[in-house]
Amino acid sequence: MASKLETLNRWVDEVARLTQPDRIHWCDGSEAENEALTELMLESGDLIELNPNTHPNCYLHRSHPSDVARVEHLTFVCTENKDDAGPNNHWMAPTEAHAKIDALFAGSMRGRTLYVIPYCMGPIDSPIARCGVEITDSAYVVANMRIMTRMGAAAQARIEREGRFVKGLHSVAERDPEKRFIMHFPEELAIKSIGSGYGGNALLGKKCHALRIASWQARSEGWLAEHMLIVGIENPQGETFYVAAAFPSACGKTNLAMLIPPAAYLGWKIWTVGDDICWMQPGADGRLWAINPEAGFFGVAPGTSAKTNANALAMLDHDAIFTNVAVTADNQPWWEGLNDTVPAKDWQGRDYDPANGPAAHPNSRFTVSARQCPSFSPHAEDAQGVPLSAIIFGGRRESLVPLVFEARDWAHGVLVGASMASETTAAATGAVGVVRRDSMAMKPFCGYNFGDYFSHWLSFADKAGKLPKIFHVNWFRKGMDGKFLWPGFGDNMRVLEWVVARCTGKAAAIETPIGSLPRAQDLNLDGLAIGAPQLAALLAIDHAGWKKEIAAIGEYLASYGTHTPPALHAEQQRVAAALA
């Protein structure tokens, strides 16, 4: 019988003919392979060894100054029918896209090694997990994929058993911003990325596979691929409740995933399952079961400190790769917000001069195994996943949106997720307080039309009998003085406790037109310096403001035309009527 790897072998041969590498290396994920690649990168200057006494097995990578972030305007979803990609994506016809990018791939690996990376997104034996293969000419990508996925021989064995995988082709090529594209072909389960060596553009298992392609795959197979963290909340009785949560960027996602409960919460624990991506599907018991498809964290370094995220900091002193951070005089990694030390070299390797801007790039990163996190969940590798009690949506809103509210049912919860938004800050655009909708925090990552995506979410009301309750939180409400009303960080535990108590029927709430809110006495405020007026402001409902908001949500839903499900329009109108 012909090997199921025949498809893979044939594809590797095709790519090699197109890209013309000097060598082909099939990655097995072994320690020996990793050591050899590290040596290679130290010699080429792709990696710089950090202080071995303070940070053993830690390395710094400096990317090209023109290649430091995801490039949304060069990211395409290439479906046969433009409507399938939707107005939420940049679209190109597949034939045109293949022709355009293949012309750039021609000869792009001359003088280089072509690496074949078989990987599994999710625990290697999980029925929810899916496999992929990335072909790349970057050893840096291999090193990162080894941390971020289950990469190597075991993944290749699963691919041989199943005979199916997502194809990802990547080349740094000339790193020319004019010749940089990230193309997704959902109908072919394929990705092509050229001209960038940066994280999300080059580590194709991450946003490209685990969200854009997986969201399409999930719709056709009856599951969900979401931009969400997953945490376990353990109470003093030893019961653990799992929650998934979606936030747009700059809303403290990783901090919440690794939260340390405040002193008032003796006996409570937070267990980290994942900080960025969640795949979930209905189980035989009617609940949604979730896995983190990733095996590591690719976190933003600036702002990470002992105060904001002690658990993240604790995992970064060994076996980590840092990208575009600064270094101190004794060669330790440094970034803004870390400590009071003054860096010696900035992220570009220049002597540090404040006139050149921040020492670490604002989007500088760390790549580290999830197992190094002190709060890593003992159930993060469970093949069946963890059962979800709640799903939380959140945004950055300075006014209007209360600290927390609960959706009345699944359909209302989908509306809450579809309409979630953040306000722009002056630093971002100059126009303050402009509301930007980012449905389910998936705006840059949903691989198909948002209207169809909302329909898919609604369909779970028929697929699972014990769906998680849905909540919305807003840690960013401000008072008249312009200061935050809520302390955030570890104190967000107080909101999570109410969420869990609502899921178990042990907490009261007030019904309002926008959802159910806690009363002041329903939140544990022990040890928190917060006055009654502050709390009242955090839980206040501005009816006039909400009438405008719900009307704006109606206009937003209408922007997806006939693809928006009538049930979602009906839900928006129900809330509007309740407010009237």
Catalytic positions: 251
Per the annotation, where are the binding residues for substrate?
70, 198-200, 249, 363-365
User: Between helices 410-418 and 566-579, what is the axis angle to 10°?
Assistant: 90
Q: Between the CA of residue 513 and those of 12, 135, 199, 286, what are the distances in Å?
A: 57, 52, 42, 29
Q: Between the CA of residue 441 and those of 249, 510, 561, what are the distances in Å?
A: 8, 27, 20
Distance CA 477, CA 191 (A): 40
**Structure token pair of residue 173:** 């090529």
What's the one-letter identity of residue 141? V
Q: Between the CA of residue 184 and those of 216, 220, 472, what are the distances in Å?
A: 11, 16, 31
Distance CA 235, CA 269 (A): 7
Query: Residue 365's beta-bridge partner residues?
Result: 300, 323
**Structure token pair of residue 293:** 């498809």
What's the one-letter identity of residue 226? E
With beta carbons less than 8 A apart as the criterion, state whether 215 and 77 touch.
no
Per the annotation, where are the binding residues for GTP?
250-255, 365, 396, 489-492
With beta carbons less than 8 A apart as the criterion, state whether 317 and 50 touch.
no
**Structure token pair of residue 551:** 């009307």
**DSSP code per residue over 439-495:** GGG-TTT-SS-HHHHHHHHHTHHHH-SSPPEEEEE-TT-B-TTSSBSS--GGGGHHH
Q: Quick one: 44 exposed, middle or buried, by C-beta within 10 A (0-12, 13-18, 19+)?
A: exposed
**Structure token pair of residue 292:** 């983190």
The enclosing H or E element of 77 equals strand 75-77
**SS3 state of residue 178:** helix
Per the annotation, where are the binding residues?
70, 198-200, 207, 227, 249-255, 276, 363-365, 396, 489-492
CA-based radius of gyration for the chain: 24
With beta carbons less than 8 A apart as the criterion, state whether 119 and 154 touch.
no
Would you say how long the chain is, in residues? 580
What's the half-sphere exposure (Cβ side, CA atoms, 13 Å) at 288? 29
Pairing of strands 181-185, 75-77: parallel
The DSSP 8-state label assigned to residue 307 in this structure reads T
**DSSP code per residue over 236-251:** TTS-EEEEEEE--TTS
Per the annotation, where are the binding residues for Mn(2+)?
207, 227, 276
With beta carbons less than 8 A apart as the criterion, state whether 209 and 191 touch.
yes
